[in-house]
Amino acid sequence: MLDYALFAGGCFWGVEAAFRATPGVAFTKVGYAGGSTVDPTYKDVCRDLTGHAETVLVIYDPAQISYKALLETYFSINEGSCACDEMGSFGSQYRSIIFFNNAEQKQIAEDLINFLNRSHVYEAPISTDLVLTKNFYLAEDYHQQYYEKHGLVDQAC
């Protein structure tokens, strides 16, 4: 049985490409989560009118990859210490968020963040928000699998 996870951490194009290349991930979709606007548009999200962050929905097979391994993939492409993505873009839509679906996912994320902070893996402490999943709205079709559509797969994180 497949499960899902939601991650925000910069521009969703690169985050999606990284997860699509991860064994055990069945498929991904990019969209918006964490805000209050129903069915937001990219234009509204970029104008900071919605409260949403650019987010990747990851559908995965827990028999092939654990939630912890997905988190490790996430932190390998997003250090989680600022509201910027791997390309240096800034804005609230690029903030670092792990959306959890239940207490177990939240605990796994907290444990990994605590471990990474204690280990000083990154220069600054991880400030990624942990937020209960409440909504997810698909982004416009031209954003889906953007790197693949534009021949940029080799540039993924």
Catalytic residues: 11
- Enter the tokens of residue 9: 């951490």
Instruction: Give the residue carrying structure tokens 């990624």.
Output: 128
Q: Are strands 129-132 and 96-100 parallel, antiparallel or unpaired?
A: parallel
Q: What secondary structure letter does DSSP report for 29?
A: E
CB atoms closer than 10 angstroms to residue 88: 8
Angstrom distance (rounded) from CA 31 to CA 3: 17
All residues at 6 or more sequence positions from 120 whose CB lies less than 8 Å from its CB, including other chains: none
Neighbours of 77 (CB within 10 A): 18
